[in-house]
């Protein structure tokens, strides 16, 4: 290489390499500090786009998982109300069985008072059982109401039918008020009334049992769907992690490499700056 006074090419080359190595060292340190493999110039646009898409899918499915948990809670509240109503019907059947025996009118009047009280509580449960402001036992979950009033939860990535669950269609829970079940006619004031009322209570109990069976089946469906969602979230998170997360062991090895390169290039800049001294030696001869 020729010796020149104004342009020290060896020094320029060494300084350029020092700049590159310093820049690479800074990116390695940033990746380790942030844990982001896609930081800096190492990643390409395709990887960044894919990672963002996967992150979007994961966050959407996590919200869908929350929706399913809310749906399970809604079903549990409805089941709790139906369970209490079932208990009331069992008590009514017991009272009417007593009323079918050889008892006096005073005893019948006392039994009727309890029937009236239980009927009021039955209606209170039907009208007050709700989840997050949504009525559950007043017919709001029946499939017969307007479609735009159905309770629908999103459990997928889009708005297609396969990504939604219509709770009304799943449970078809009609009103459980006494008027809807014919319980307003229940009476123990006479033997005949008690006998007729017993069949009404039996029919109402069968209806409530059917509702509870539908609720139980829907609960199992939601649980299975939630398990499937959680597996999807796990797999998407793992794929996202492979693309996005930095491998710290690999980055530490790269850090050591870049530190050595910076040190060696710094030393070579110093050595290159000594090259023009050869010109002075030539001039002194």
What's the rounded mean pLDDT across residues 152-166? 89
Centre a 10 Å sphere on the Cβ of residue 195 and count the other Cβ atoms it contains: 12
Token readout for 185 is 């006619």
Q: What percent of the chain has pLDDT over 90?
A: 52
Residue 99 CA to residue 104 CA, distance in Å, equals: 9
Percent of the chain exceeding pLDDT 70 equals: 92
Average pLDDT, the chain: 88
Q: Is the pLDDT of residue 115 over 90?
A: yes
In this structure, of 57-66, 155-164, 190-199, 263-272, the range with the lowest mean pLDDT score is 263-272
Please return the burial class of 283, using the count of CB atoms within 10 Å of its CB with bins 0-12, 13-18 and 19+.
Answer: exposed
Please state, in angstroms and rounded to a whole number, the distance separating the CA atoms of residues 13 and 24.
17
pLDDT at residue number 171: 92
Identify whether the C-beta of residue 156 lies closer than 8 Å to the C-beta of residue 163.
Answer: yes
The tokens describing 113, both together, are: 């008072």
Q: What is the DSSP string of 211-235?
A: HHHHHHHHHHHHHHHHHHHHHHHHH
Which SS3 state, helix, strand or coil, does residue 277 take?
helix
* pTM passes above 0.85: no
Question: Are the CB atoms for 171 and 215 separated by under 8 Å?
Answer: yes
DSSP β-bridge partners for residue 224:
none
How far is residue 210's CA from residue 81's CA, in Å, rounded to a whole number? 14
Q: Which of 83 and 28 is assigned the larger pLDDT?
A: 83
pLDDT at 29 over 90: no
Q: How far apart are CA 282 and CA 285, in angstroms?
A: 5
Confidence check: pLDDT of 201 > 90: yes
State the Cα–Cα distance between residues 43 and 38, nearest whole angstrom.
5
Interatomic CA distance for residues 150 and 219, integer angstroms: 18
Q: Which domains does the chain have, with CATH numbers?
A: 45-244 (1.20.1330.10)
Q: How far apart are CA 275 and CA 269, in angstroms?
A: 10
pLDDT at 206: 95
Helix spans in the chain (H): 9-34, 45-99, 105-128, 167-171, 178-181, 191-244, 248-273, 277-284
Is the distance from CB of 191 to CB of 101 less than 8 angstroms? no
């Amino acid at each position: 290489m020729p010796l020149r006074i104004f342009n020290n090419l060896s020094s320029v080359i060494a300084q350029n390499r020092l700049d590159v190595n310093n820049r690479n060292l800074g990116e390695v340190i940033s990746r380790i500090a942030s844990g982001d493999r896609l930081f800096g110039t190492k990643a390409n646009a395709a990887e960044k786009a894919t990672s963002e898409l996967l992150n979007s899918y994961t966050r959407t499915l996590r919200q869908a998982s929350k929706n399913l948990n809310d749906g399970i809670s809604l079903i549990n509240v409805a089941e709790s109300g139906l369970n209490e109503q079932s208990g009331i019907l069992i008590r009514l059947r017991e009272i009417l069985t007593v009323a079918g025996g050889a008892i006096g009118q005073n005893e019948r009047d006392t039994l009727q008072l309890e029937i009236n009280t239980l009927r009021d509580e039955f209606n209170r449960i039907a009208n007050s059982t709700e989840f997050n402001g949504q009525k559950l036992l007043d017919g709001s979950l029946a499939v017969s109401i307007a479609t735009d009033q159905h309770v629908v939860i999103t459990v997928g990535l889009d708005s297609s039918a396969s990504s939604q669950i219509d709770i009304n269609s799943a449970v078809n829970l009609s009103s459980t008020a006494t008027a809807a079940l014919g319980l307003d006619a229940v009476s123990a004031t006479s033997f005949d009334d008690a006998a007729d009322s017993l069949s009404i209570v039996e029919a109402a109990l069968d209806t409530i049992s059917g509702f509870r069976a539908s609720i139980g089946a829907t609960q199992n469906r939601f649980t299975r769907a939630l398990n499937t969602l959680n597996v999807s979230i796990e797999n998407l998170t793992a794929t996202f992690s492979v693309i996005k997360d930095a491998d710290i062991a690999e980055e530490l090895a790269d850090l050591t490499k870049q530190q050595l390169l910076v040190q060696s290039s710094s030393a070579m800049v110093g050595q290159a700056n000594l090259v023009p001294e050869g010109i002075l030696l030539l001039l002194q001869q």
